[in-house]
A and B are shown apart, each in its own frame.
With several copies, the nearest count.
Chain A
Amino acid sequence: MDLKELYQDIILEHGKSPKNFGKCEKYTHEAKGHNPLCGDQVHVYLKLNNEKNVDNVTFEGTGCAISIASTSIMTELVKGKSLETAKKIVIDFLNMIKNTQEIKSNDLDEDQKIKIMSLSGVKQYPMRVKCATLAWHTLTSAINGKKEEVNTEVID
């Protein structure tokens, strides 16, 4: 296994300079996530408009390259999508990482598919899967308006 499959350039890029970092204005939903094993922490802010589209989604947090990159890529992929589509993308992603299924969604363009696939290297590193999934679980939590912090020890 080449480490470069895990640490692809896209990952390093997003890890170093994450997109949509910070607290967005007028967010309508939020949730926190925590990976106790690693100490990764993430706070997702989601702004849905009246048509239930993802107007904006941003995050704050600390963590390893995988976790930051995964969060950054997630925000890019769901931003501008309808809520339903966003949910489908999350499910697709989790299925890919945890059940090694293919990405089925028709809602991603080629560039976006490359981005999401760049995270698939993590499948070879079981202890790092939680780093990759934390943000996505946290987004789901924000959508569902859950009060409790997401904890990957419980979820995964």
Chain B
Amino acid sequence: MDINLIKSQFPIFTKKIKGKPLVYLDSSNSSQKPTSVLNSLDYFYRNEFSNIGRSIHSLAVNATNKYEETRTSIKNFINANSKDEIVFTKNATESINLVASTFGQENIKKGDEILITELEHHSNYVPWHYLRETKGAIIKFAPINDDGDIIISKLKELITSKTKIIAVTHLSNVTGTIVPIKEIVEIARKKNIPVLVDGCQSAPHIKIDVKDLDCDFYAISAHKVYGPTGVGILYGKKKWLEKLPPYIGGGGMINEVNKDKITYASVPEKYEAGTMPTAEVIAFNESIKFMESIGIQNIIKHEKELTNYALEKLKKINSVKIIGNPKNKAGVISFVIKGIHPHDISTIVDEEGVAIRAGHHCCQILHNRLNLSATARASIGVYNTKEDIDILCKAIENCRKVFELK
């Protein structure tokens, strides 16, 4: 894998921030996009633009075919059984809301339990919280240990006869914990409990095989997988998507509409109401091709190396503390520096062209658990290099200088 060749595919890396080359370490927030994706987007709008599905003129036929090609690519990318199991949404947050809302409608009653974990992003908590508010459901949080790993034995203990669904992240956007989803699904399967996986952070960084995981739902955001903004993906086992009621209602998701009765289209159209992010879905196909052109194993290897390199270097800096030490860690590195607030770190490293994130990263529960109000986070993408890490570390040293720490 030639990292320079990869980096050169991302036009943004020719840009300067405050006169310095951009060191982008905020990929867990959103990734940068390769030229092929941007070219696809631009080409489609300039040469072939049309809405899909509804019209039957040549432009519409072409657009519809390309849109469906992306669906097929995603099916293959995550190894789904059928492309009908792939629903396009606006982001992973909507994907999770779709499941929480439709599943909740028919399967959650007062006193029923929803099991999530202390690692969850707000997007995998708030939608379930709504069922607490509207249905009187109970939300339980599987605890983590100080390393940032879910304590599986405790998760098991929290399952009762009232547990109706388990919703869990595949990869923590704070600690980088890679969660043993297969193990959790096996536990759930024995009790016939469906499992939703928040795959926002995993999709760009580890191999996803929904057949092997055997999970019921899997949520992804294209913009974190080197794709455009505005596109989310929901994988759902066909039996679920067929059984659950529709979500957003409108054009394109109906079968027959009468003044007293409406019947709905079959999946996946049933869940794709209104005009979709057509151009963005089509361009996302190039993101998948980009990932496949490198090979997920090569991506994993590169990012693992870089993560280890970064962890070692960061640990050597005085008063830097890495948050979490999970068994299996991806390139998400949250840290604090005694005496400097994460926002001050972010501002200071920004002067060196280094983009990191500071705050609770939409994980207040986790930060409460760790007794922190905020952390700084450097997160790695396939385009990052050891030099990026070196510059980050130098910038952190500069924080210590500005704050006159010894």
A–B touch (CB < 8 A): the answer is yes
B-side interface residues, number (CB < 8 Å): 30
Evaluate contact between B351 and A39: CB separation under 8 angstroms.
Answer: no
Task: Report B-chain residues with C-beta under 8 Å of the C-beta of A131.
Answer: 343
Asked if A21 is an interface residue, CB under 8 A from chain B, the answer is: no
Instruction: Give the chain B neighbours of A71 by CB distance below 8 A.
Output: none
Residues of chain B with a CB closer than 8 A to A127's CB: 56, 60-61, 64, 347
Given known A128-B56, A153-B265, A154-B266, contact A36–B344 (CB-CB < 8 A): no
B-side contacts of A16, CB under 8 Å? 339
B269 touches A (CB below 8 Å): yes
CB distance from B255 to the nearest CB of A (A): 5
Q: By the criterion CB–CB under 8 Å, are A64 and B265 in contact?
A: no
Selected A-B contacts with CB under 8 Å, 28 pairs: A1-B351, A3-B348, A3-B351, A4-B402, A7-B348, A7-B402, A16-B339, A36-B255, A37-B53, A37-B56, A37-B359, A38-B56, A38-B343, A38-B358, A38-B374, A39-B360, A40-B343, A63-B341, A63-B343, A64-B342, A65-B344, A125-B347, A127-B56, A127-B347, A128-B343, A128-B347, A151-B265, A151-B266
A34 contacts B256, C-beta separation under 8 Å: yes
Cβ-defined contact, A62 with B266, below 8 A: no
Chain B neighbourhood of A4, CB < 8 A: 402
Give A125 to B60 CA distance when docked, in angstroms: 12
Given A39-B373, A127-B61, A128-B343, A3 and B402 contact (CB-CB distance below 8 Å)? yes
Instruction: Give residues of chain A (112-126) contacting chain B, Cβ–Cβ below 8 Å.
Output: 125-126
Interface residues of B (CB under 8 A from A): 53-54, 56, 60-61, 64-65, 254-256, 265-266, 269, 339-344, 347-348, 351, 358-360, 373-374, 402-404
**Interface of A toward B, CB cutoff 8 Å:** 1, 3-4, 6-7, 12, 16, 34, 36-41, 62-66, 125-128, 131, 151, 153-154
Contact (Cβ within 8 A) B340 A65: yes
In the complex, the answer to whether B344 meets A64 with C-beta atoms within 8 Å is yes
Nearest residue, chain A, Cβ from B358:
A38
Q: What residues on A are CB-neighbors of B266 within 8 Å?
A: 151, 153-154
Chain A residues with CB under 8 A of B404: 12
B254 partner residues in chain A, CB cutoff 8 A: 36
Knowing A4-B402, A12-B403, A153-B269 touch, does A126 contact B61 (C-beta < 8 A)?
Answer: yes
A49 CA to B277 CA, complexed, in Å: 53
Which residue on A lies nearest to B64, using beta carbons?
A127
Whole-angstrom distance between the Cβ of B273 and the nearest chain A Cβ: 14
CB distance from A59 to the nearest CB of B (A): 16
Give Cα A19 to B36, complex, Å: 53
Bound Cα distance from A16 to B54, whole angstroms = 26
Further contacts, 16 of them, CB under 8 A, given A36-B255, A38-B343: A3-B348, A7-B344, A36-B254, A36-B256, A37-B54, A39-B359, A39-B373, A39-B374, A65-B340, A65-B344, A127-B61, A128-B56, A128-B343, A153-B265, A153-B269, A154-B266
> CB distance A7 to B359 under 8 Å?
no
Nearest to B62 among chain A residues (CB) is A126
Indicate if the CB atoms of B265 and A66 lie closer than 8 Å. Answer: no
CB contacts (< 8 Å) of A36 on chain B: these are: 254-256, 265
How far is it, in angstroms, between the C-alpha of A40 and the C-alpha of B374 when the chains are bound? 9
Q: In whole angstroms, how far apart are the Cα atoms of A12 and B348 in the complex?
A: 14
- A153 CA / B254 CA spacing, docked (Å): 11
A134 to chain B, nearest CB (A): 12
Residues of B contacting A38 in the complex (Cβ-Cβ under 8 angstroms): 56, 343, 358-359, 374
Residues of B within 8 A of A63 (CB): 341, 343
Contacts of A126 in B (CB 8 A): 61, 65
Which residue among A1, A37, A65 has the maximum number of chain B CB atoms within 10 Å of its CB?
A: A37
Kindly report which residue of chain B lies nearest to residue A68, judged by CB atoms: B341
